[in-house]
Amino acid sequence: MEDSFNIKFTRGEIVGQWDWTFEIPLFKTIARIGKSGWDRRLKEEIEKIEYLKKLKKENIFFTKVEQDSQNPRIFYVEGTSEENEIVNFLIRLPIQYPFVPPYAEEFYYGKYTFYSYADSGKVACLNQINNRWNKEGRHGIAHFLAMLGYYMALARYNVDLKSFRKRPRKKSK
């Protein structure tokens, strides 16, 4: 399976194109959290998130992205899956952000559990996102969400990914 930007996946037929990262303009302001220029960067982050929302592409699942009122390095993401399940989770910005990607805390999407780090029974995509991340700091939260949407689409269409496992269903009594 190929794994690169802007690709149409085939399983005998074309089933979708989900990576919209390339459609979001790169960031102009590059600043670390709390350092000079961060306020401008934050403004640009919000602009880019709105831009991504307006694209209205398939698998751009989120409806709301909100910064924590107490902790500027935490953002809450809320959205709905195609099955109309509510998807919500929080993303954390590492101290090296934007030179490294943010990461998402564990969340459920359909029958899968997503987690940034490799763990048994979970879809781990941080390594893949890390490989795609613009190391000059020109990617931001919007790009991260677009990349995440891409991996969530892979899960939805059961595309085989390394360390990809179904969430164990609870046995009904």
Partner 1 sequence: MLPLDARNQLAVESPEMFSRIIFAGIDIRQLLSKTALIGGAGGLGVIVGEILARSGIGKLIIIDRDIVEEANLNRLIYTREDQGKPKAHCLSKKLESIRNVENIDPRFHLKTEAYQEDVVAWMELEELIKRSNIIFTCFDNEAARIEFNAYTISLNKPLIDGGTSENALRGTIITVLPGKTPCLECYWSNQTLISVDDLNSDEKELQSLILKVPCGASLATMMNIVASIQSEQALKLLCGYGEIVPLIRVSLEESISVMGAHSKRRPGCPACGGL
- The DSSP secondary-structure symbol of 22 reads G
The least CB distance from residue 93 to partner 1, in Å, is 6
61 and 87 in contact (C-beta within 8 Å)?
yes
Q: How many residues does the chain have?
A: 173
Nearer to partner 1, 70 or 84 (CB): 70
* Those residues with Cβ within 8 angstroms of residue 80's Cβ, 6 or more apart along the chain or in another chain: 61, 63, 86, 87
Q: Which residues of 29-64 are buried (b: 16+ CB within 10 A; e: fewer)?
A: bbbbeeeeeeeebbebbeebbeebbeeeeebbbbee
Nearer to partner 1, 18 or 114 (CB): 114
Nearer to partner 1, 98 or 149 (CB): 98
The least CB distance from residue 89 to partner 1, in Å, is 12
Nearer to partner 1, 70 or 172 (CB): 70
Q: Of the candidates 45, 42, 63, which has an alpha carbon nearest to the alpha carbon of residue 54?
A: 63
The least CB distance from residue 36 to partner 1, in Å, is 14
Report the interface residues with partner 1, using CB under 8 A.
Answer: 32, 70-71, 73-74, 92-96, 99-100, 103, 105, 117-118, 120, 135-137
The least CB distance from residue 117 to partner 1, in Å, is 6
User: Strands 62-67 and 14-17: what pairing?
Assistant: unpaired
